[in-house]
Amino acid sequence: MPPPILRIQWQYNTGRFGRAGCSRFTIESKRMPMTLLGASEKGEKKAGLFDRLRQAVASTKAQLVERIEQIVEGREAIDRQVLDDLEAVLIGADLGVKTTTEILDHLRNQVDRRQIRDPQQLRSALEREILAILEKPAASAAARQQPPAGQPEVIFAVGVNGVGKTTSIAKLANFYLQQGRRPLLCAADTFRAAAIEQLEVWARRLGVEIVKQKAGADPSAVLFDGLAAARRHHADPVIVDTAGRLHTKYNLMAELEKMCRIAGREVAGAPHQVFLVIDATTGQNGLQQARQFLEHAGATGIILAKLDGTAKGGVVVAIARELGLPIQFVGVGEKLDDLLPFNPREFVASLFEA
């Protein structure tokens, strides 16, 4: 039987935990986060973020965890049929064939060694498997090179058209603003005038500086200007929008490589971060497209946009395993604060908690 749900409401009018009236938030969790006991602002914010992650993965949870519960219900042994059904569920939730096969091999192994016997244990065994896959690339993220003192951190966003690059850049700028930094946006997707205008609208809304040129300009020239402006105005980080048109793939990749060279010549170690933006709603197809970028752009991490409203959130696991890159942020909507730092444990908890 699942552990009972603990339901807490903080009442701002009385300053106590309780059930009635005037609450601003509700937390439901098997484990009560310690920070909430003091109801500090930090705790409130954290609970809010977790709640939003939970909302964003609701469809994936229905597709994955709730189906597993249906499979194991009433079964007495972990037989071939149970494992075949589990395999179908994992593929249906877009974990991909390779990742699914690896997970099933591990589970079969545990069944053979009688480490798991009861079908009811499959759920938590799967939770452990997914967490291990997600935590693996996260461990390597710390090795990133830092910019020299007094120089801006340079961050590129790359990925196919329409995946959510420009929107994610605006959200990232908002994230860094909240950390007390002064981001500068660089409109180096010069392929379409609309792309420059879109970034300008965000910059105005955020009140941050933007460096741009006319549509059709050399993206590397815009980048060069952006870095110079950042140095002059002590802005940091410089967040660079890039084009993502796949039909002129060769030019695009050559352009990206040139931008990386220019950045590195101007600021040691730049680009310090290259976020590959992937659209979660495209599932395995998105993963395929992402691979093509990786060959040329050398990404350091993933932003998974549009996790809200997709049942294909299982692609998170395939991305972590097959690209070997940490997922650093997930997009959960179109607003500025709809970007959540990705934490493997929280992600798994949001999917598997009762």
Ligand X SMILES: Nc1nc2c(ncn2[C@@H]2O[C@H](COP(=O)(O)OP(=O)(O)O)[C@@H](O)[C@H]2O)c(=O)[nH]1
Can you state the percent helix, strand and coil of the chain, rounding each to 5? 50, 15, 30
Q: Report the alpha-carbon distance of residue 185 to residue 210 in Å, rounded.
A: 5
Residue 166 binds ligand X (CB under 6 A): yes
Residue 308 binds ligand X (CB under 6 A): yes
By CB under 6 A, the count of residues binding ligand X is 17
Residue 283 binds ligand X (CB under 6 A): no
Closest CA to 231 of 256, 203, 209, 257: 209
Helix (H) or strand (E) holding 154: strand 154-158
Residue 195 binds Mg ion (CB under 5 A): yes
By CB under 5 A, the count of residues binding Mg ion is 3
String of DSSP letters for 18-33: ESSS-EEEEEEESS--
Which residues within the stretch 125-184 sit at the binding site for Mg ion (CB under 5 A)?
Answer: 165-166
Region near ligand X per CB under 6 A, out of 33-41, 95-103, 330-338, 346-354 = 330-338
What are phi and psi for residue 39, nearest 5 degrees?
50, 35
Residue 219 binds ligand X (CB under 6 A): no
Among ligand X, Mg ion, none, what binds residue 321 when CB lies within 5 to 8 Å by partner kind? none
Q: Report the alpha-carbon distance of residue 32 to residue 7 in Å, rounded.
A: 9
Closer to Mg ion by CB, 158 or 302: give it.
158
Determine which residue in the list 147, 152, 244, 314 makes contact with ligand X, applying CB under 6 A: 244
Residue 197 binds ligand X (CB under 6 A): no
Residue 290 binds ligand X (CB under 6 A): no
Buried b (16+ CB within 10 A) or exposed e, 164-197: bbbbbbbbbbbbbeeeeebbbbbbbbbbeeebbe
Closer to ligand X by CB, 119 or 271: give it.
271
Task: State the residues that interact with Mg ion by CB under 5 A.
Answer: 165-166, 195
Task: State the residues that interact with ligand X by CB under 6 A.
Answer: 159, 161-167, 244, 305-306, 308, 331-334, 338
